[in-house]
Structure 1
């Protein structure tokens, strides 16, 4: 949930100091200035492995590409201070060529600081996933502080045989400071597109309005919320295993629901703590090790 991707190229006739409303486009864009907070990367299959062949980003965004064994490429998106402040507009453009596998993740939870004068922050992800390629978007949970305003929009263009795992999760805030769903507003939207046709759409909006979010009839006792989207033929066995495990009674206090799709599944999960939801995610998504040679969490927790 901490990513929004839109490829943005500046008009060559525009003022280089103007950071408003840049144009969008796909491609490596060498020699073209990126506005602050933009990044783009391209992944190709070279020597039997997925490798990042181009990688650019501008402050405050950084895209780290560590050297790791195995066929999968890993990209870590981070910002200075590990958080977002009012006015930040982070945009990541990612292109996966055919037969590649990439994990887009973070180093730690992304903090969203309190907004000033109702001026929030936003993140965008625009990804293009080629034939038989797999994209796993697995950030750490988002933490919105009291009074924060956050908007996220992720758009993924999928080739005919492409695969997508998209994890979007957030906590109720800084529990050590007594925060419990006290941010100002949160909106998140995921679009999956193939040949110009919308294949999947998942949208979430959390706003206090008439009643506070911690009202028992709203988020109540839950302190972590997650939405997982799995899409693609290569994930069929994993999707089936998730549904089989869901049939087993659980005592961790988590509640979950499933929305089957023609080629995938939308899995929603709420729990009493970040730890409980994290354990459930790691357990249900353990099958990703077969595709990545390790799960996105093995070197973190």
Structure 2
């Protein structure tokens, strides 16, 4: 371990802890702590469902080499939480060591957690690792959407970042014990001599991902998503996990050349779930 990495592990650039519980029919913070370059804005409610929305903010504006950010979020029994970001997550040059985000998510019985961050942008010579450890209950509901895009390069070339590693480890906690539901491991490592992206990621520049964990996930939903995404300018695949404790996971991957197109595609899928499962309207975060 290099000195830079060791220092990052010992002293994260930003830490955030958030525990949400149900009080008076609404979801509210039961515990909140932040240190360094991470915090959340004042909570707000987008509709009358009781779901609380928190906006994650990094005042530093970007992740740099050897930066470590640690996020811990718990949605207690029956809590409904929406977590988004104030703006895109930007990964700049990381000479000497990668930037890293470690996120832990815990969902209680009947909890609903929705993650809808702005896009992750990796710039020239950026190396980034994102490790997310998730524990759900059989009655929990988790929806996570994310878009990854290459940043601007001075010579106009695509894929100038070095490496992106995105890892989601999902467990189901039951009375009989905790079992792994899925290990979703994504590695994007552009070819060193490829300046156009052709032959890499099927020639596309942007990647969209959707992870859904819920007892209502089944093959019919996967087929419905596949049909829904067919009308978008993107190449999409959908797969299901095994069923653990009555809970099944769904992973959707989509390739495109446009952040907006992927946002529309993922938005259509999440809108379907919000209306059908939660009786809520499509997301309208109104950030801009």
2:24 to 35, 47, 71: 47
Q: What are the residue-to-residue correspondences of 1:1-301 with 2, within 5 Å?
A: 21=9, 36-68=13-45, 69-70=47-48, 71-117=50-96, 119-174=97-152, 178-195=156-173, 196-209=178-191, 212=194, 214-233=196-215, 235-236=216-217, 240=220, 243-244=223-224, 246-247=226-227, 250=230, 252-261=232-241, 262=243, 263-290=248-275, 291=278, 293-300=280-287
Indicate how the Cα distance of structure 1 residues 19 and 73 shifts in structure 2: closer, same or farther if over 3 A, else same.
farther
Aligned partner of 1:31 in structure 2 is none
Q: Structure 2: how far apart are the matches of 1:168 and 1:232?
A: 18
Higher RCO (CA-CA < 8 Å; seq separation 6+): 1
TM-score normalized by structure 2? 0.84
Aligned partner of 1:26 in structure 2 is none
Unaligned segments of structure 2, at least 5 residues: 1-5
Aligned partner of 1:25 in structure 2 is none
Q: Structure 2: how far apart are the matches of 1:203 and 1:84?
A: 21
Unaligned segments of structure 1, at least 5 residues: 1-17, 23-33
More moved, 165-174 vs 86-95: 165-174
Q: Structure 1: how far apart are the matches of 2:71 and 2:202?
A: 34
Shift of 1:286: 1.1
User: What count of residue pairs does the alignment treat as equivalent?
Assistant: 270
Question: Residues 179-219 of structure 1, C-alpha deviation per residue, up to 9 Å, x if partnerless?
Answer: 41210111010011123311111111111356538442212
Indicate how the Cα distance of structure 1 residues 184 and 297 shifts in structure 2: closer, same or farther if over 3 A, else same.
farther
